[in-house]
Structure 1
Amino acid sequence: MRLSIDAFLDYTLAGPADLLFALEVAQMHDQILITDRLIVGGVEPLRPIIGDESLGRRTWAYGEGRITAHYTATVDIERAPTVLHGLHADKLKDLPPLVVPYLFPSRYCEADRFETAVRREFGDEEGGDKVQAMADWIRGHLDYVPGSSDVNTTAADTYVSHSGVCRDFAHLLIAMARAAGIPARMVGAYAWQLDPPDFHAVVEVWLEGGWHLVDPTGLAPTEGIARIGVGRDATDISFLTVFGQAQFNHQQVRVELVDTDRSLGVPR
């Protein structure tokens, strides 16, 4: 499918500050970036850098006062719906070096605190079936409640409160998967059919030698997700990090399906 993406941010800085944007869709084998453009107002010249694991890129800026960022893109998603059933977990000793860090606890995903609960609740499952059971459990036990968490909320907090937003659902699945010895990382993304439209946080788990997308909220189909970047948890995938004080003014994200004549490769 071809997606049209339009994201706009509007902030006011309390003083001069460095900013790190992560808004641009990553060019990957299953998502082909056709066109994109990032315009940032109120800053000095931009400096792009490669994103984590060399996926996508981030952009440094320095500014003060009112800051706006407008990102537009057209991307072709060439990905089938994720099917976890029957996928085997890799032996830990066979994991690629870049995958190993996604086994460990991180700031928001305290995997070591979930080992007993995961054994008790999902001990009879293996591999992809275990991850699917975890995702189903999360959807069945957590309520999606905007405003129910903040930047300090961890996976353990979400497990206790039984509520959260997409980042909290993702943190909990990541913590559970890592507790079971399955590498898991967080993905910042744009998502088709997400309602209300916004930036989205989902998960990738490592099974049978590759990463597989999972949306623990169930709010967006995995075949309609355009990745921006990946990381250990929300710390690494923030769409905007301000090294200073900032006031939020306005934000808008639109992801729409483009009706395309595949024989010509152009929108109808």
Structure 2
Amino acid sequence: MQRNVSAHIALDVTGPAELVFAISVSRHHTPEETLTVLLDGTPLGVDELPDAHGTRLHRVRSDSGRLELSYEADVAGTGDTDTATDTDLVTYLRPSRYAESDALAPTAAAEFAGIDPGPALLKAVSSWVGTRLSYAPGSSLPTDGAVRTLLNRRGVCRDYAHTCVALLRALGVPARLVAVYAPGLDPMDFHAVAEAWIDGAWRVVDATTLAPRATLLRIATGRDAADTAFLTVTAGGASLVSMEVSATADRLPDDDLERLVGLT
């Protein structure tokens, strides 16, 4: 499979600032790629910082002005498969800021009683979340976690993913959140899905069913959205002016929801 992805982000930076972007394809692939950052038309230096699970962060130090980041990558074929250490499996069983598995433990136990951890549980959780939430752009806040999402019964991709992650952890299945490029997604944007450790491998869970899982490209991986945001302002201030994301593939396969799929 041949995939092409790109992102263009424009920010107004107010005074000296340090910005960290997570927009590049993970180290599991060796893409042909370009990344440029301009401040009022002048190139800025970029530091690449390796993070967990192949995540590549890019840090930019900027003065005030209009900052524009452009990224493009061509990815051919599949990449390396991500594995898990014993520490990973402990980490991704713990509650986290946006995936409050401890608070949702009674709900998980009541809704999925009698289903053994494995493919059947993965399907049950994904279907349950997908049928109980309504996809509604703009309906949630950046601070909303899985509990608030279930109370509101609506959200966007990250809310669906957080809810799946929280329920799976509450059921004893290590789970985490992944930011991805998603060919076939409409409307196009960065996308968020869950991954669960099933039968000795990470399996994709996307309760939104908005893009074929086999086309997804990993960007950043972590406990929840706190670890995978496309932009983190670590010093100073910046406001988003515009963002355009594109992701295409030479083919969009049918997504058999009965099949276990790993990110490639």
Report if TM-score (shorter chain) is over 0.5: yes
SS at match of 2:119: helix
Supply the distance in 1 between the matched residues of 2:191 and 2:181 (Cα, whole angstroms).
6
- Cα contact 2:37–2:44 (8 A) shared by 1: no
Letter of the 1:104 partner, please give it.
R
Q: What is the deviation of 1:95?
A: 6.8
In structure 2, the residue matched to 1:7 is 7
Deviation at 1:133, TM superposition (A): 0.6
TM-score where L is the length of structure 2: 0.87
Match of 1:109 in 2: 99
Between Structure 1 and Structure 2, how many residues are aligned?
Answer: 241
> Aligned residue for 2:178?
187
Preserved CA contact (<8 Å) 2:25 2:31: no
Could you tell me whether the CA contact under 8 Å between 1:5 and 1:72 is conserved in 2?
Answer: yes
Equivalent in the alignment of 1:65: 65
Paired residue for 2:150? 159
For structure 2, list consecutive stretches of 5 or more residues without a partner in the other structure. 252-264
- Preserved CA contact (<8 Å) 1:23 1:228: yes
Deviations 1:70-118 (A, max 9, x none): 0100113439xxxxxxxxxxxxxx9722221000000011000111111
Q: Where do 1:195-214 residues align within 5 Å?
A: 195-214=186-205
Which sections of structure 1, spanning at least 5 residues, go unmatched?
A: 80-93, 260-268
Q: Which residue identity is paired with 2:249?
A: L
Distance 1:67 1:99 in 2: 39
Instruction: State the identity %.
Output: 37
**Per-residue deviation, 1:209:** 1.5
Question: How big is the shift at 1:125?
Answer: 1.2
Is 2:245 aligned against 1:253?
yes
The amino acid across from 1:36 in the alignment is E
1:148 to 119, 139, 142: 139
- Answering whether residue 118 of structure 2 is matched by residue 121 of structure 1, we say no
Alignment pair present for 1:134 and 2:125? yes
Partner amino acid for 1:232?
A: R
Letter in 1 for 2:59: W
Structure 2 match to 1:234: 225
Note the alpha carbon deviations across 1:147-189, whole angstroms, 9 max, x for none: 0011111100001100000010000000000000000010011
The worse-fitting range, judged by mean Cα deviation, of 104-113 and 127-136 is: 127-136
Distance 1:161 1:151 in 2: 14
Q: TM-score, normalised by structure 1?
A: 0.86
Q: Which amino acid aligns with 2:113?
A: G
| Change beyond 3 A, Cα 1:95–1:5 | closer
Amino acid at match of 1:73: A
* Partner AA of 2:213 in structure 1: T
Q: Which segments of structure 1 move beyond 3 Å, counting only runs of 4 or more? A: none
Q: Secondary structure at the match of 1:177?
A: helix
Q: Mark the CA change 1:171 to 1:16 in structure 2 (over 3 Å): closer, same or farther.
A: same
Which of 12, 35, 38 is equivalent to 1:38? 35
Residue identity matched to 2:185: L
- Cα distance in 1, alignment partners of residues 85 and 109 from structure 2: 22
Contact 1:154 1:171 in 2 (8 A): yes
Q: Tell me which amino acid in the other structure corresponds to 1:212.
A: R
- Alpha-carbon contact 2:27-2:56 (below 8 Å) kept: no
